[in-house]
């Protein structure tokens, strides 16, 4: 078995893990990150896309609100191209208590979240679909953040700083010597190769899966996966974030992110972070809540429903209490103090917006345990080139149109028509990842995320990948079927009108026209979480 060594080993390739790895490598640690799937494969890639202003928490959780507004300002500087400066509004619909807006404004003031109540016409003239009976509108600095872009930027930065990022590598066990974690046993899920990585400090950033890692150290850590379901509407019904002006509740937010607008979320504790089907009532509920914001909401095309699992940490479970400030939404678990096993820290709780702060707290604690003083510099150092601008929706269209205008023939044909992904991008994505898994390509390029959900791009991308990576036809068929099943999964709860017609067309293309059912046994294909290939 081959061996590797790293000073800091981060488990988890989501927002938290990548931020932690960035923090560690910037403090001069030799750093390695392990992810059993792809970047943003877990909860980060399944979030609604809101960069919180803190407004959502000013009344219910003031501490989080202060964290959010501070981190909102920082993230805009360090990952600008993943963020669209949409602004956000808290609106009082006829279903909400108008007096809450006063409580809200006072709380914003107290927590330092900039909030300004404006005449309702300012918003209603801009957002023509919104409920014309909205009575109060308060503007806050919410923004939209694409988590795939964000995690890709962080991963790129980490690698440029010398850290290693290993995707499709699963932790199968911890090496514990003298009550201290000194290494991690790893399996490469694509090759089944197993090896040991020695390390001085393991940072467990596996979110809803954190309990599994803690268990490997003999600790009992109760992380309750909290399912949050959301629905992407086919277009941007609004171009600014719209929140219901009331105490945080299910289905209270509509976020324009990329080409879609996302209504979210529900919040239901589930048993396993790997099994959490979406219930029909959740879909019904979210669409009904949408009606309060946009009358006729249900008539618009609901494109895809998905769920993520929040890593909700229950400090009282297992009969142990933590020394950390429990009112905070995230906490660093020191397994030395808790379970008597050193060299392992777990991050629990938290939210996407505060990923950098979480990483700072985590690596601060790691430094303390490693008995070294190294200041955190992540807040001041952008992960992108100076002068990088914020994202805006028409960016992709602009880029394509400008290149198209220079050519008389289509030199760089569009592969994914819905999300305007040209062949050059597809090739660059496959070249960089060397992954034949089309879902990885999707996270890299947004391929297959538009209205047809892969109907017209999957076979094209599959053909390109097959040629570039010298796949066997059997392999390529399986890859294609896996991708389609994953795409179709998100449509299953939304099969009426548009989506039903779309799925019928897509299924006919692949199953009847291209005969996919005859080339692979679709029943055998494993879906989430690992998209493992045979």
- Give contact residues for other proteins (rule: CB under 8 A): 128-129, 234-236, 239, 259, 300-301, 392-394, 396-398, 401-402, 404-405, 407-410, 414, 417-418, 420, 450-452, 455-456, 498, 501-502, 505
Query: Minimum CB separation from other proteins for residue 497, in Å?
Result: 8
Nearer to other proteins, 136 or 236 (CB): 236
Q: Smallest Cα–Cα separation from 382: which of 73, 128, 172? A: 73
Q: Which three-class secondary structure state does DSSP give residue 306?
A: strand
Nearer to other proteins, 103 or 235 (CB): 235
Taking the C-alpha atoms of residue 90 and residue 248, their distance in angstroms, rounded to an integer, is: 11
Nearer to other proteins, 281 or 392 (CB): 392
Query: Minimum CB separation from other proteins for residue 129, in Å?
Result: 7
Nearer to other proteins, 154 or 509 (CB): 509
**Which tokens is 152 given?**
């890709």
CA dihedral 17, 21, 24, 28 (to 10 degrees): 170
Query: Minimum CB separation from other proteins for residue 130, in Å?
Result: 12
Query: Minimum CB separation from other proteins for residue 119, in Å?
Result: 19
Query: Minimum CB separation from other proteins for residue 242, in Å?
Result: 16
Nearer to other proteins, 323 or 402 (CB): 402
**Which tokens is 79 given?**
């990952």
**Which tokens is 472 given?**
């066997």
Angle, alpha carbons 256-249-18 (nearest 5°): 55
Nearer to other proteins, 257 or 345 (CB): 257
Nearer to other proteins, 87 or 279 (CB): 87
Helices (H), 370-472: 395-405, 423-433, 438-445, 458-468
* Residues sharing a CB contact under 8 Å with residue 406, sequence separation 6 or more, in sequence order: none
Query: Minimum CB separation from other proteins for residue 418, in Å?
Result: 6
Query: Minimum CB separation from other proteins for residue 239, in Å?
Result: 7
Taking the C-alpha atoms of residue 257 and residue 277, their distance in angstroms, rounded to an integer, is: 24
Neighbours of 382 (CB within 10 A): 16
Nearer to other proteins, 205 or 257 (CB): 257
Query: Minimum CB separation from other proteins for residue 85, in Å?
Result: 11
Neighbours of 375 (CB within 10 A): 8
Contact between 101 and 138 under an 8 Å Cβ cutoff? The reply is yes
Taking the C-alpha atoms of residue 527 and residue 441, their distance in angstroms, rounded to an integer, is: 16
Nearer to other proteins, 53 or 234 (CB): 234
Secondary structure, 3-state, 84-119: ECCCEEEEECCCCCCCHHHHHHHHHHHHCCCCEEEC
- The phi and psi torsions of 170 (rounded to 5 degrees) equal -105, 140
DSSP 8-state assignment for residue 239: S
Query: Minimum CB separation from other proteins for residue 302, in Å?
Result: 10
């Amino acid at each position: 078995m081959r061996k590797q060594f790293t000073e800091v080993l981060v488990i988890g390739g989501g927002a938290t893990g990548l931020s932690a790895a960035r923090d560690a490598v910037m403090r001069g640690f030799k750093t390695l990150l392990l992810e059993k799937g792809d970047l943003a494969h877990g909860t980060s890639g399944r979030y609604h896309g809101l960069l919180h202003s803190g407004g959502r928490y000013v009344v219910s959780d003031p501490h989080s609100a202060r964290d959010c507004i501070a981190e909102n300002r920082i993230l805009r500087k360090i990952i600008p191209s993943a963020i669209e400066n949409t602004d956000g509004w808290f609106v009082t619909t006829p279903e909400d208590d108008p007096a809450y807006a006063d409580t809200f404004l006072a709380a914003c003031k107290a927590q330092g979240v900039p909030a300004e109540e404006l005449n309702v016409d300012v918003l209603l003239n801009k957002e023509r679909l919104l409920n014309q009976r909205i009575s109060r509108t308060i503007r806050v600095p919410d923004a939209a953040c694409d988590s795939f872009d964000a995690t890709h930027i962080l991963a790129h930065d980490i690698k440029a700083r010398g850290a290693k990022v290993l995707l499709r590598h699963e932790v199968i066990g911890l090496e514990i010597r003298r009550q201290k974690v000194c290494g991690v046993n790893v399996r490469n899920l694509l090759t089944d190769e197993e090896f040991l990585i020695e390390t001085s400090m393991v940072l467990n950033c596996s979110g809803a899966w954190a309990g599994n890692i803690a268990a490997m150290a003999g600790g009992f850590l109760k992380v309750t996966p909290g399912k949050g379901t959301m629905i992407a509407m086919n277009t941007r019904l609004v171009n600014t974030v719209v929140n219901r002006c009331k105490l945080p509740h299910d289905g209270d937010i509509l976020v324009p992110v990329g080409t879609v607008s996302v209504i979210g979320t529900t919040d239901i504790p589930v048993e396993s972070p790997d099994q959490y089907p979406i219930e029909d009532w959740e879909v019904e509920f979210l669409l009904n809540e949408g009606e309060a914001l946009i009358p006729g909401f249900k008539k618009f095309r609901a494109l895809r429903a998905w769920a993520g699992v929040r890593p909700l940490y229950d400090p009282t479970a297992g009969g142990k209490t933590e020394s950390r400030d429990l009112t905070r939404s995230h906490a660093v678990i020191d397994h030395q103090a808790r379970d008597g096993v050193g060299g392992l820290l777990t991050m629990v709780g938290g939210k996407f917006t505060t990923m950098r702060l979480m990483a700072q707290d985590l690596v601060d604690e790691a430094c303390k345990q490693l008995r070294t003083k190294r200041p955190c510099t992540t807040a001041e150092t952008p992960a992108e080139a100076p002068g990088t601008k914020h994202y805006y929706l028409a960016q992709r269209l602009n880029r394509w149109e400008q290149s198209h205008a220079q050519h008389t023939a289509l030199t760089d044909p569009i592969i994914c028509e819905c999300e305007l992904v040209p062949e050059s991008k597809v090739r660059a994505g496959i070249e960089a990842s060397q992954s034949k898994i089309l879902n990885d390509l999707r996270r890299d390029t947004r391929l297959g995320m538009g209205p047809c959900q892969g109907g017209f791009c999957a076979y094209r991308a599959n053909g390109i990948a097959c040629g570039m990576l010298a796949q066997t036809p059997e392999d390529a068929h399986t890859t294609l079927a896996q991708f389609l099943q994953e795409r179709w999964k998100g449509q299953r709860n939304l099969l009426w009108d548009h989506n039903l017609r779309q799925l019928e067309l897509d299924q006919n293309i692949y199953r009847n026209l291209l005969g996919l059912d005859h080339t692979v046994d679709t029943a055998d294909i494993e879906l989430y979480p690992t998209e493992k290939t045979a």
